[in-house]
């Protein structure tokens, strides 16, 4: 038996000229809540579709629960949960019918969790799915996904479009599900506040590759922020060790770096003519932003 609930080896997926995944490698151990973070188009949704066997990779292979994604049996699929960002459900059925169908399909169905999450939404069993608002549809879909108590739950931007109360209730149920039923949860989100509260592990992807995996705290510790003057001219960007970004704001330069010892980096800055270098604290939002901004498409400088 494998030690990982998800394994991807040398995964490449090409759509025409575009590489959605580029020699992508990932191993996720059993348990915990893992947040997948990346810019738009980084390859998150493609990865999910390949993991679940909805699409085939151009090169490479993936396994979930130790089984090749392209050979998942119906029995295996019953042990996986997936919620896509559109929350697509059969529009012609009523909420009650959809729920009943799911309850019969999943042996570990947890009615208590279902009611705890759905209770935050004004959804009547007799209402047709087509009549629900986007938020209500999300609520119904997420309640069912959590109630399935799957071994692996994959969520693509689950809280997008939920109001504050519904979001809070969903996140509580998510954390409850993880601890009570040992579900491993992989989810992607752009909301740092939520990730900081919920995720134990970050998987940061960029241009179809994993660039970092670490706990939020460990990740933050690797990133540093320096502010200084360069009156005699700025060093060549590529010559600065560990540089992620360099920005000029009025007369001062703002540098984000990775894996640089504070003392050593300060020495370095002084040696290349920096004046008054000051290290500023970094929060998770800024740390993630700095690594994603490095190769992000951006227009010309604003200031």
Partner 1 sequence: MSKTTALAIQIATGDTRPIFRQIVDGIRKEIAIGNIAHESKLPSVRALAMQLGINANTVAKAYTELTSQGLLESRKGLGVFVTEPKQLLSKAEQEKRLKDASQRFINEVLYLDYSPDQAVQYLLNEMHKMNNRN
| Site residues (vs partner 1, CB under 8 A) | 32-33, 168, 171-172, 175, 179, 192-193, 196-200, 216-217, 220, 281-285
CB count within 10 Å of CB 142 equals 26
Beta carbon of residue 17, minimum distance to partner 1 (angstroms, whole number): 39
Beta carbon of residue 38, minimum distance to partner 1 (angstroms, whole number): 20
Judged by CB, which is closer to partner 1: 122, or 193?
A: 193
Q: What is the CA radius of gyration of the chain?
A: 22
Contacting residues for 178 by C-beta, under 8 A, at least 6 apart: 31, 32, 33, 184, 185
Judged by CB, which is closer to partner 1: 16, or 281?
A: 281
Judged by CB, which is closer to partner 1: 37, or 89?
A: 37
Beta carbon of residue 63, minimum distance to partner 1 (angstroms, whole number): 26
Judged by CB, which is closer to partner 1: 172, or 229?
A: 172
Beta carbon of residue 187, minimum distance to partner 1 (angstroms, whole number): 13
Judged by CB, which is closer to partner 1: 23, or 283?
A: 283
Beta carbon of residue 256, minimum distance to partner 1 (angstroms, whole number): 14
Beta carbon of residue 285, minimum distance to partner 1 (angstroms, whole number): 6
Judged by CB, which is closer to partner 1: 179, or 295?
A: 179
């Amino acid at each position: 038996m494998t030690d990982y609930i998800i394994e991807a080896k040398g995964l490449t997926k090409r759509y025409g000229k575009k590489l959605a995944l580029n020699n992508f490698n990932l191993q996720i151990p059993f348990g915990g809540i893992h947040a997948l973070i990346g810019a738009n188009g980084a390859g998150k949704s493609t990865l999910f579709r390949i993991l679940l066997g909805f699409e085939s990779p151009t090169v490479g292979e993936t396994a979930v629960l130790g089984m090749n994604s392209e050979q998942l049996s119906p029995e295996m699929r019953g042990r996986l949960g997936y919620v896509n960002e559109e929350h697509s459900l059969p529009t012609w059925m009523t909420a009650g019918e959809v729920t009943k169908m799911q309850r019969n399909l999943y042996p570990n169905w947890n009615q208590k969790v279902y009611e705890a999450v759905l209770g935050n939404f004004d959804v009547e069993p007799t209402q047709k799915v087509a009549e629900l608002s986007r938020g209500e549809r999300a609520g119904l879909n997420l309640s069912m996904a959590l109630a399935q108590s799957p071994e692996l739950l994959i969520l693509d931007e689950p809280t997008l479009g939920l109001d504050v109360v519904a979001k809070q209730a969903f996140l509580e149920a998510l954390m409850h599900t993880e601890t009570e039923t040992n579900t491993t949860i992989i989810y992607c989100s752009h909301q740092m506040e939520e990730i900081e509260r919920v995720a134990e592990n970050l998987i940061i992807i960029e241009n179809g590759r994993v660039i970092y995996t670490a706990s939020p705290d460990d990740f933050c510790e690797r990133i540093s922020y320096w502010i200084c003057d360069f009156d005699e001219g700025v060093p060549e960007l590529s010559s600065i060790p560990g540089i992620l970004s360099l920005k000029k704001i009025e007369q001062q330069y703002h540098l984000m770096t990775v894996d640089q010892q504070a003392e050593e980096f300060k020495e370095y800055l002084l040696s290349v003519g920096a004046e008054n270098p000051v290290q500023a604290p970094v929060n998770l939002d800024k740390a993630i932003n700095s690594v994603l901004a490095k190769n992000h498409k951006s227009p010309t400088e604003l200031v």
